[in-house]
Structure 1
């Protein structure tokens, strides 16, 4: 307590005594017991009130012992199961957690990981992907401001995510890998990366690029074969050696017939090669007989144009043509969609052409849009533009039902630049994206879809969507979220089919079961999304004809069936609506590919570099006792005593107010009882 506060308290005592003496003893001759009691009560109430005004503060120190966090990070992928048993890993964990001295020094926590971090300590060793860098990054976020050491139990073979060795260079916490699995390096020949397009076009050639990798100490010769639907179409003899361990194979295959083509790439294994699972790989390519042509019309150069072209052409079934509004369009009768970018008076001829053909359109407006011209050139929208541009943030409409958008995330998307003004849409439309300006959600759409059987339209009221694509990459390290969003809009707008009550969304090819699912949207007779419907997915295995049913679950504004439990193979399916004569059928293929089985040996050298980059140390499974001893003796991880000072104001003590009230009340009653009032 400060000296100033003590002096104020002393002064308040003097003031309280002075007032009490003046009121009860000054010029008063009667000084009995009653006067003493009353003066004491008066002193208490005055002194208490003055104390509340001074409001002195009291401090208290609480001491705690903070232990260092020791995180056991366990690789739960299936590659561990082939080289190290679950019991062996549990024995290592028990040896660490069961040490009493170590438990006294550290706060031990256990996590497992595959493609992501899991708080469960249950080992299943069945994860199909390994992302070591993501697991380490998640631990850093959880234990952000604490002293933490990480013990990483893994074979070091990562199949997805950022390179953990590179990530380790920026890692502030020490990582101590324990190498699991076989550290012996075997002579191995494997198929690495395979590159191909998802679609090919009839009577064209489509490329397949294959990388063959050799681990060994001598020169070898082998043969690479590519088969399509069981027929060998490509063969090449190759030679590999320790000085040239990788060979790139490029093949051009003919797309002679329409349909799904199952492609098998294989390499003849070495004599006595231990791991032959990685000597073959399956992919699939769908041969189609046409492309959807999309024209972007703009009289300006803008990053949005390039972003749209890249996004739309990420689907090989679509091609984009960029035209000026003054160009000739008489030869463009087969265009699936026109994208009109910030129309002005030069768009008069193209708008007339679109109106005559009844073509579908996506109109993007912005600060350079001539609204006087646009208002007079069509009848779907009208805007009384103020000429003032403003930043408009997107709000995803969860009630949008024309197609499924539940997988998309607009979190963190930057604003678009749009002109302010009252907007009128004269046709029936659905809002896909709403507007938010300066934190206020507006009642006008940012992206509106106008459905129709004869013609479909969409309107995006803002420029700079290239920033959305860039933000998607910043958040996810890929463009998929944005590309899929634009892709679904383009698919809907370029379709010439009438509006259907049952629509399906699925891939024709799934590489493994990761993310395999079928989604469906069902509408009632008034074309309102029906949340009370019962949808059933009937699957037929094409090889043996066996069938089974999967009920589709309602998730948000769509129905979904999870295919992750299916074996690899070709499946026919039909989605039907109970009580309605409505159904849709299709076919998909699940390729047999487990990337975890491509590795036989542990990558201990890379784990050692990770340990060195983070000031940690590499251990093998047989050196667990050495790791325990090192942690016990390491003074860097001694528990730290921390003190926390709690400062409490006197005004927070309610009992003082109670004493003041009680003293005043008692004084009043005593004076009343004795006839002094």
Structure 2
């Protein structure tokens, strides 16, 4: 629509242009004829076009559209749904989509389904192994943000992963109308809801097991909790429940007697009339490791330091300390992980040679009985300055030490160590833990330091009487714990001397179900840069059926991955190989036969009802679909809205009009010059 003001301006522009032309070409002019008319028309066109550029006339156009609210039909696609539920959902979806009334006229009807994630589809397979209702609702919030939307949720209300959807509903932006599926009858049910256990245990140690048991019923009942390890009963306990006391936590410790992967079954005996017995037991697996660290203290002198070292190191049951003289038969030292060389002298020659031959780890303690010249000659990790008198050396912590955390151990007020050794120079890669403090002055020389040589690790302590530190720790804290933990960290650092590995696997020894089974790998070139062009294959063999599968590992974002989610439950061995090099890694894992979706005997309609109330919706049952349709049709929140959009369109094209003006003026000038006019 062109405004009246614009029309008047255009008319005024034409009058002004005509007046100027009449004045220029006809006022007091004696020329007549066709040429005068052409020139005056060209001048009129140029002046009129120029004025139009300033006026820039426009007209407006209104476009109208009808915006319908969205009706999202969200269906549960998890395996907890039965074939009867599937038939019911298909019937209800068809009824809502093909509704001939105002429902289909007033709503944009969209179909989604969900399990662990949301997907845009109306076909149901009921194969999803997990249910995450809160994630599905959160995804819909992102998709339909800023729109008028209602959600009809078809589900049994049983969620296995993710945030509790009942509480998420308080943040939900759209009203939810749950349609309850499944069996709504409440049955007496006793279930193992959760088990807490470590993934690993150490041989001859006890590992903790925490079992959460729940009861759904009104009567007082009793049952028995049983724990089986590799089908052998290792623990049992009577448990009782009532309508008031309907949960119980049982904590126990199970002893690991043998090395290897252990299958553990935790079960509660079913109630006499219990319908769902699937949730009465849970399976898990853990790996028992023989991680005993053998430490040898080798010395020619008797000193209280030796007893203090042995007690501190053996405070961790996974470490065994043996004391030897340097002339001991070397065959007894073949299984040693860490050698502690206490005040070595020339008699340690064979021991040092064995350490070098085995590329073993060592911890050297210097003192007043040490032959420093021999130590300098026999090894290439440290160079100790000699010729110093016996002196007291206090310790100060190196705040920048990065190999492991030493911040929990304070040396404030600790007595000094005694030594006649001078400053220690590290010949390889090393880092001091403690530095020397003499007469209150911090010296830039190590008191306790580490050094690394290829894959071997070494440490040296410049002083004896460390037993006084352990006593001082007890005096301060009434426990040896802090000192023992500090020394334990040092021994752990020395006993784990694995060098850089160009081919590294990341996997779990236990997978709860097949969908979680993925093995990752990192492969580096000789410069230890990630190689994204490698070809890696993995061969997996089922121990029970002796069947094998070989698949390539695919490149992901900075790693390689093999997706083995199609494998059935069982025990598997695997070998991953880099095809262009002679590099391979092997391992084993177990897939447990666990389906969280089978843990429920009836639908959780009470939680769905609270979700509906929290979102200003309402709960319905499958036989109430007509009531749901009527509620949606009559709700004033879901009325289609007519929206208008005003479009402003310019009447002229700026570039075209400017070109026309230039053309008119140019043609006028040319005609005037051609005819000899000024």
Q: Is the 8 A contact 1:266 1:281 kept in 2?
A: yes
Whether the 8 Å contact between 1:83 and 1:181 is mirrored in structure 2 is no
Query: Which whole-Å CA distance do the structure 1 matches of 2:221 and 2:193 have between them?
Result: 17
Give the corresponding residue for 1:562.
563
Shift of residue 9 of structure 1? 5.0
Q: Does the CA-based 8 Å contact 1:77-1:596 persist in structure 2?
A: yes
Contact conserved, 1:83 with 1:182, CA < 8 A, in 2?
A: no
Distance 1:563 1:188 in 2: 34
State how 1:40-189 maps to structure 2 within 5 Å: 40-80=41-81, 82=82, 84-101=84-101, 102-189=103-190
Instruction: Judge conservation of contact 1:261–1:286 (CA < 8 Å) in 2.
Output: yes
Q: Which residue of 2 aligns with 1:613?
A: 614
In 2 relative to 1, CA 655–336 (structure 1 residues): closer, same or farther, beyond 3 Å? closer
Q: Which residue of 1 aligns with 2:26?
A: 25
Shift in CA distance, 204/454, structure 1 to aligned 2, threshold 3 Å = closer
Structure 1 residues 493 and 557, CA gap change in structure 2 (3 angstroms): farther
Instruction: Indicate conservation of the 8 Å contact 1:358/1:455, yes or no.
Output: no
Shift in CA distance, 327/236, structure 1 to aligned 2, threshold 3 Å: farther
Alignment partner, residue 337 of structure 1 = 403
Q: Which residue of 2 aligns with 1:477?
A: none
The RMSD of aligned alpha carbons is 3.7
Residue 42 of structure 1, CA deviation: 2.1
Q: Deviations over 1:593-629 (max 9, x none)?
A: 1111111211111111111221211111122232223
SS at match of 1:100: coil
Equivalences for residues 269-668 of structure 1 within 5 A = 269-290=270-291, 337-338=403-404, 358=429, 496-525=497-526, 527-649=528-650, 654-664=655-665, 666-667=667-668
Cα distance in 1 for partners of 2:510, 2:431 equals: 29
| Distance in 2, Cα, partners of 1:451 & 1:11 | 97
Structure 2 contact 424–445 (Cα < 8 Å) conserved? no
The whole-number CA distance in structure 1 between the counterparts of 2:290 and 2:283 is 23
How far 1:240 moved relative to its partner?
Answer: 1.4
Cα deviation 1:558-608 (Å, max 9, x = unaligned): 321102111112111111222533211111111221111111211111111
In 2, are the aligned partners of 1:338 and 1:361 still within 8 Å (CA)?
no
Name stretches of at least 5 consecutive residues in structure 2 with no aligned partner: 294-317, 319-393, 417-422, 434-441, 447-451, 459-491
In structure 2, the residue matched to 1:227 is 228
Task: Give the match for residue 331 of structure 2.
Answer: none
**TM-score, with structure 2 as normaliser:** 0.68
Aligned-partner Cα distance in 2 for 1:597–1:511: 14
How many residue pairs get matched? 516
What SS is found at the alignment partner of 1:79? coil
The alpha-carbon deviation at position 642 of structure 1 amounts to: 0.4
Give unmatched runs, 5+ long, in structure 1.
293-316, 318-325, 363-372, 379-449, 457-490
Q: Is the 8 A contact 1:217 1:242 kept in 2?
A: yes
TM, length-normalised to structure 1? 0.68
Q: Which residue of 2 aligns with 1:268?
A: 269
- 1:160, CA displacement in angstroms? 1.5
Q: Which stretch of structure 1 is more off in the superposition, 250-259 or 185-194?
A: 250-259
CA contact (8 A) 2:77 2:126 kept: yes
Shift of 1:199: 2.6
Partner Cα distance (2:424, 2:59) in 1: 82
CA distance in 1: counterparts of 2:497 and 2:655, whole angstroms: 75
**SS of residue paired to 2:23:** helix
2: distance between equivalents of 1:233 and 1:667? Answer: 111
SS in 2 for 1:596: helix
User: Which structure has the bigger radius of gyration?
Assistant: 2
Provide the C-alpha distance between the structure 1 equivalents of 2:21 and 2:287, rounded to a whole number of angstroms.
100
Give the distance between the partners of 1:291 and 1:358, measured in 2 at CA: 28
Partner of 1:35: 36
Q: Rate the CA distance shift 1:553–1:353 in 2: closer, same or farther, 3 A.
A: farther
- Secondary structure of 1:550's counterpart equals strand
2-structure distance, mates of 1:69, 1:492: 61
The Cα of 1:657 is off from its aligned counterpart by 3.7
What is the alpha-carbon distance in structure 2 between the residues aligned to residue 455 and residue 669 of structure 1? 97
